[in-house]
Amino acid sequence: MFHRILIANRGEVALRIIRTCKEMGIETVAVFSEADRNASYLHLADERICIGEAPPAESYLNIPRIIAAAEIADVEAIHPGYGFLAENAHFAEVCRDCKIAFIGPSVESMRALGDKIKAKEFARAAKVPTTPSSDGAVETVEEAVTTAGRIGYPVAVKAAGGGGGRGIRFAHNEATLRSCFKQARTEAEISFGDGRLYMEKCLENFRHVEVQLLGDMSGKVLHLGERECTVQRRRQKLIEESPAPNMPAGLRDEICNSAVRLAKEVGYHSAGTVEFIMDEDLNFYFMEVNTRIQVEHPVTEMILGQDIVKWQLRVAAGERIDMEQSDIVPRGWSIECRINAEDPAHGFRPSPGRVEAFVAPGGLGVRWDSHVYQGYAIPSCYDSLVGKLIVHRPSRGEAIATCRRALEEFVIYPTRTTIPLCRDILAHPKFQAGQWDTTYVEREMLKV
Amino acid sequence: MASKAPKKTVAARKAAAPAKTPVIDDVKHLVKLMIEHDLVEVSVADGGRSIALKRGSSSQPAGGALSAGAAQTGSAAPAADKVEEPAELLVEVKSPMVGTLYTAASPDSDPYVAVGSYVDENTVVCIVEAMKVMNEVRAEVSGVITEICVKNAQPVEYGQVLFRVRPA
């Protein structure tokens, strides 16, 4: 097992990783930018190294500075967290070249799955259902129109180098397709450095269901169950839960097993998540693979009593997964609310700045993962996540009740947060029924 | 046996209670205003009642102002490397990167600078090495070195103070 690792991230996930490392007796080195200099979670790390100014390009995305910090701190491994460099295959490669273990999958599987066109090919090879799509990259507008004729409108034009809900445009007819195609290419080039586009048939009104995977370097792959992440706003998740409601047992097994097949096809190890979309008839289709730990991993941890960060460290250190699929038995129900420093009353504009008063909820079944505390100044240059409220109770109804109760206990002043929106969503009959799609929040609650 | 009257919910009981403004509500409101407008002292008189509130200095962030640089640098520079100067007149030369600091171009060379050395904007004052690449650090100020804050082969972080210069 590693003796010392560097955490190439900040905020909530950096604290998450520090916590597990402390329990495992692994020393932690936390890097930080000038904007995070006074964050108190840094003092829980064994060492702290300032790597640059606030902008991510000069700090958390700056590979030479992170590697330099890893070298002077003499660490054996780097955990990239989520976001920033977590899915950057080049960064993983640099770590490998510098003889520093990258706590994540192999460079090759990151490259393969980061290319969304290749990822679909792997899915097809693993007999995972995929939506009708283009035959690889679409070069010209005419090819796009022909493809749309074959697969049927509406279509999604997606960047091969995209992911996480970014780099997607929709066209309901030929005219729109013609007008957005060139723009989509330019945007892809600028945002991802890769102008390749592919097309998929759009499903209207679908659910988002994903499967947590865990693989080791011997090729063993297990699934840790599914999560429902349909409650979203603009393709960003707001509330997640596990298990997924309204999911027949046979279908759950089918989805989870298909994710495992895909991981084996790619030779995937470490933690990862396969995302699917599901239509009203419970047909599911492959969407993408996230080759990192996800924000919502705690709901899986709660129903299984497992520490996913610990598994990542063990796998990266070369250990075998010493449990079988039959040992993975979920208990109870878990729901997570992401709390962001955004003002729902004013178009979700960010609400950075000092948190003057802060009280977090507690009590039976409540877990609060956050780096924020009273007196903390939320920087304006990073994501707006304040923290994650996770509840775990024996049934879905009880989990919803505990979540609503816990949300009421929060005191966060004067920061504006999405807590009121979470409360409204949990009180809404559609949430209670678990009958929904990824746009219902915007359509029926935010009236956008 | 007569049946018990149904218990009222807290909300119902509150609605039924006669309206009044307890002192604690006024205090809470005043405290909120004081924080909002960063007031230190407020006193309010209203008929027969008066409230006076005094607020301490603004609380520091719970993380404190602990410089992580202090955690990194290790022991302070020995007295011989320092010339006493009023702090306001000195310019700090800070590390532009993370890495290992070397005070000379090679193990056999003399150090780039010493206390008392004259420097200008382009004078190389030290090297910071990262990933096997040697990066020259320039003074970016004209003046005289008054303090050397680091030792040869010491790890340095971004923004760490390396030298102090009395500007010319």
What is the per-residue pLDDT across A389-441, written as a single tens digit (0 to 9) for each? 999 999 999 999 999 999 999 999 999 999 999 999 999 999 999 989 999 99
Check residues A192 and A421 and name the one with the higher pLDDT. Answer: A421
- Which residue in chain A is spatially nearest to B68 when comparing CA positions? A48
Residue B46 falls within a domain, yes or no? yes
Residue B67 falls within a domain, yes or no? no
Contacts of B62 in chain A (CB under 8 A): 40, 373-376
| Residues near A447 by beta carbon (within 8 Å), at least 6 away in sequence | none
Measured between alpha carbons, how far is A115 from A193 in angstroms, rounded to an integer? 12
Whether A362 and chain B come into contact, CB under 8 Å, resolves to: no
- Which residue in chain B is spatially nearest to A74 when comparing CA positions? B155
Query: In this structure, are B87 and B161 located in the same domain?
Result: yes
The mean per-residue pLDDT over the stretch A153-169 comes to 87
> Residue B5 above 70 pLDDT?
no
Confidence of residue B71 (pLDDT cuts 50, 70, 90): very low
Instruction: Give CA separation, B64 vs A39, A40, A277, B149, B151, in Å.
Output: 8, 8, 46, 23, 27
Check residues A20 and A189 and name the one with the higher pLDDT. Answer: A20
Check residues B145 and A167 and name the one with the higher pLDDT. Answer: B145
Query: In this structure, are B88 and B159 located in the same domain?
Result: yes
Check residues A39 and B66 and name the one with the higher pLDDT. Answer: A39
Task: Tell me if residue A4 is catalytic.
Answer: no
**What is the widest separation between alpha-carbon atoms in chain B?**
104
Query: In this structure, are B109 and B162 located in the same domain?
Result: yes
Catalytic residue among A261, A292, A367, A393: A292
- Stretch among A106-115, A301-310, A330-339, A438-447 having the lowest mean pLDDT: A438-447
pLDDT in the model for residue A32: 98
Residue B59 falls within a domain, yes or no? no
Residue B68 falls within a domain, yes or no? no
Neighbours of A149 (CB within 10 A): 11
Query: In this structure, are B162 and B116 located in the same domain?
Result: yes
> Residue B66 above 50 pLDDT?
no
Helix (H) or strand (E) holding A400: helix A396-409
What percent of chain A stands above pLDDT 90? Answer: 92
Contacts of A48 in chain B (CB under 8 A): 68, 71-72
Q: Taking CB atoms and an 8 Å limit, are A40 and B63 in contact across chains?
A: yes
Whether B155 and chain A come into contact, CB under 8 Å, resolves to: yes
Model confidence pLDDT, tens digit, residues A272-329: 999 999 999 999 999 999 999 999 999 999 999 999 999 999 999 999 999 999 999 9
| Residues near A326 by beta carbon (within 8 Å), at least 6 away in sequence | none
Neighbours of A327 (CB within 10 A): 11
Query: In this structure, are B96 and B147 located in the same domain?
Result: yes
- Which residue in chain A is spatially nearest to B62 when comparing CA positions? A375
Query: In this structure, are B50 and B80 located in the same domain?
Result: no
The mean per-residue pLDDT over the stretch A221-248 comes to 96
> Residue B110 above 70 pLDDT?
yes
Average pLDDT, rounded, for chain A = 96
**Taking CB atoms and an 8 Å cut-off, how many pairs form between chains A and B?**
85
**What tokens were used for A189?**
């080039």
Confidence of residue B74 (pLDDT cuts 50, 70, 90): very low
Model confidence pLDDT, tens digit, residues B81-109: 566 655 568 999 999 999 999 999 999 99
> Residue A239 above 80 pLDDT?
yes
Q: Taking CB atoms and an 8 Å limit, are A72 and B158 in contact across chains?
A: no
Confidence of residue B61 (pLDDT cuts 50, 70, 90): very low
The mean per-residue pLDDT over the stretch B42-56 comes to 77
Question: What predicted TM-score, i.e. pTM, was given to this entire model?
Answer: 0.83
Q: Taking CB atoms and an 8 Å limit, are A51 and B155 in contact across chains?
A: no
What CATH number does residue B105 fall under? 2.40.50.100
Residue B1 falls within a domain, yes or no? no
Query: In this structure, are B49 and B123 located in the same domain?
Result: no
Query: In this structure, are B36 and B87 located in the same domain?
Result: no
> Residue B77 above 80 pLDDT?
no
The mean per-residue pLDDT over the stretch B140-146 comes to 96
Whether A68 and chain B come into contact, CB under 8 Å, resolves to: yes
Whether A38 and chain B come into contact, CB under 8 Å, resolves to: yes
Chain B: give the shortest CA distance to residue A353, in Å: 12
Residue B81 falls within a domain, yes or no? yes
Measured between alpha carbons, how far is A117 from A135 in angstroms, rounded to an integer? 9
Query: In this structure, are B102 and B34 located in the same domain?
Result: no
Q: Taking CB atoms and an 8 Å limit, are B159 and A50 in contact across chains?
A: yes
The mean per-residue pLDDT over the stretch A20-40 comes to 98
Q: In what order do the strands lie in the sheet with B161-167?
A: B91-94, B161-167, B143-148, B118-119
Domains in chain B: how many in total?
2
Q: In what order do the strands lie in the sheet with A284-290?
A: A284-290, A270-278, A207-215, A221-233, A236-242, A333-340, A385-393, A366-370
Residue B101 falls within a domain, yes or no? yes
Query: In this structure, are B83 and B113 located in the same domain?
Result: yes
Query: In this structure, are B94 and B163 located in the same domain?
Result: yes
Q: Taking CB atoms and an 8 Å limit, are A38 and B63 in contact across chains?
A: yes
Chain B: give the shortest CA distance to residue A360, in Å: 15
Contacts of A47 in chain B (CB under 8 A): 71-72
**What tokens were used for A382?**
């990073």
Beta carbons of A376 and B63 less than 8 angstroms apart: yes
Q: Taking CB atoms and an 8 Å limit, are A50 and B158 in contact across chains?
A: yes
What SS3 class is residue A29?
Answer: strand
Q: Taking CB atoms and an 8 Å limit, are B131 and A71 in contact across chains?
A: yes
**What domains can be seen in chain A, in order of their start residue?**
4-103 (3.40.50.20), 132-201 (3.30.1490.20), 207-445 (3.30.470.20)
Enclosing domain of residue B155: 76-167
Query: In this structure, are B150 and B99 located in the same domain?
Result: yes
Locate all alpha helices (DSSP H) within A126-166, ordered by sequence: 141-151
User: What is the number of alpha carbons within 13 Å of residue A342 lying toward its C-beta?
Assistant: 17
What percent of chain B stands above pLDDT 90? Answer: 43
**Complex ipTM more than 0.95, yes or no:** no
pLDDT in the model for residue B68: 37
Q: Taking CB atoms and an 8 Å limit, are B130 and A49 in contact across chains?
A: no
Beta carbons of A263 and A272 less than 8 angstroms apart: yes
Burial label, A49 (beta-carbon count in 10 A; 0-12, 13-18, 19+): buried
Which conformational region is residue A273 in: left (phi greater than 0), alpha (psi within -120 to 50 degrees), or beta? beta
Nearest to A68 among B66, B98, B159 (CB): B98
Residue B96 falls within a domain, yes or no? yes
Model confidence pLDDT, tens digit, residues A2-19: 999 999 999 999 999 999
